[in-house]
Structure 1
Amino acid sequence: MNRRQVLTGASLAVGAAGFMLTLGWWRSGGQPMTGRDLLPIPIRDMSFSLTDHNGQPFAPSQWLGRPTMVFFGFTFCPDVCPTTLNDISDWLADLGPDADGLNVVLISVDPERDTPTILAEYLSNFDPRIVGLTGRLTELEKAAADFRATFEKLPRDGDYTMNHTAGVFLFAADGQFTSIIDFHEDRRFAIPKIRRILT
């Protein structure tokens, strides 16, 4: 690699870092953001209220005492969501009985279409340990804010789709955030991350 390539690469890295810092500044309303502001808050401090795919009310405190995996998605998603849910189902199969100790959750970002009944039908295609949550838009916005996740409704071909954060969030049994599994992350790296929250 010659000097020009090194300088070009360094310039791109600095530019990307500057963009992320500017984005962080904008999202915080002009206030400096710390590393802590970019991480999900502990589960014990979350306060949203949703409904599970069986029609039962849900509060985040119900997750405490067990490690937790959370993914944001929606049932009309054409690719990212079913791919991730298939990955999660495979990870749970790889973990065997150890996976029975996990909370595994899909939070819908599409309250207009994703009723508990629709979620239940959709999740029947994946591992039965995955629980679906839905609810009022205001509560889903609170949930996303607690996770430092984002979602937005985008018009498409006379209908709409949802753009959303695609990682799988991992929390220890005490509710502390530990790590995230990126979309399409190799199972060689995903499984050890999950095992860490199980122990």
Structure 2
Amino acid sequence: MPASYKLFASLAAPALLSLALAGCGQSAPEETPALYGSAVVGGFELVDSAGAPVTDEDFLGKYQMVYFGYAYCPDVCPFDVQRMVQGYNQFAEANPGLADDVQPIFITVDPERDTPEVVGEFAANFSEDLIGLTGSPEAIEAAAANYFASYSKGQVTEEGGYLMDHSRSGYLVDREGQPMALLPVEQSADAVAAELERWVR
């Protein structure tokens, strides 16, 4: 079973316990975000589309929506990012006072091809609110490790092309820079918006 699915399964238990307590007539304890206290610590030191240094600390005071993918992805990433952005847009429409407190972020796992210009163009295709980040292979590796995001380079063709195999979880990070919940970007925009409604205050 892929690690990402095991992570989802392990994080479902607290929610099921809360439902069970409520069903028994007991008041459920205040819900704690599933990633608090986990090995998913977050954090990155990368560059933006202009080549300027960007770290997770630049977004302190805001929630971050973080997704790892790559611009040359032929199928999965565009749809995941689209659902993430659409979910953000739905949340922003329903909660205009909180819209500026949430920052969607795309981090590449393919720094070899995804230059600052490329990640900037990729992000702009989805929303002016989405920030694209890249960096050295070492910086990308460190960032992915902080989120327990996995990736690997596929076989290179004679023409020099290749695919990247990668996990596809989205992450919601709180105002203090701590990852707090997974974003269901693989499901639907509605599911992403619901998760934002659940946690963003």
Normalised by the shorter chain, which TM-score bucket? 0.7 to 0.9
Asked whether the 8 Å contact 1:89–1:127 carries over to 2, the reply is yes
In structure 1, the gaps of 5 or more residues are 1-14, 21-34
Larger radius of gyration: 1
Indicate how the Cα distance of structure 1 residues 57 and 16 shifts in structure 2: closer, same or farther if over 3 A, else same.
Answer: closer
Aligned ranges 1:120-131 → 2 under 5 Å: 120-131=120-131
Indicate how the Cα distance of structure 1 residues 93 and 36 shifts in structure 2: closer, same or farther if over 3 A, else same.
Answer: closer
Task: Give 1 or 2: higher helix fraction.
Answer: 1
**Matched length:** 165
Q: What's the TM-score, normalizing by structure 2?
A: 0.73
Cα displacement (A) at 1:16: 9.6
Deviations 1:38-74 (A, max 9, x none): 6411x4xx3x421011221111211211111100011
Identity %: 30
Residue of 34, 44, 49 corresponding to 2:45 = 49
Higher RCO (Cα < 8 Å, 6 or more apart):
2
The separation in 2 between residues aligned to 1:111 and 1:59, in whole angstroms, is: 16
Aligned ranges 1:1-199 → 2 under 5 Å: 39-41=39-41, 43=42, 46=43, 48-95=44-91, 96=93, 97=96, 98-158=98-158, 159-199=161-201
The separation in 2 between residues aligned to 1:195 and 1:93, in whole angstroms, is: 12
Q: What's the TM-score, normalizing by structure 1?
A: 0.74
SS at match of 1:155: coil
SS at match of 1:142: helix
Residue identity matched to 2:80: T
The separation in 2 between residues aligned to 1:73 and 1:49, in whole angstroms, is: 17
The separation in 1 between residues aligned to 2:166 and 2:61, in whole angstroms, is: 28
The separation in 1 between residues aligned to 2:90 and 2:55, in whole angstroms, is: 29
Cα displacement (A) at 1:37: 8.7
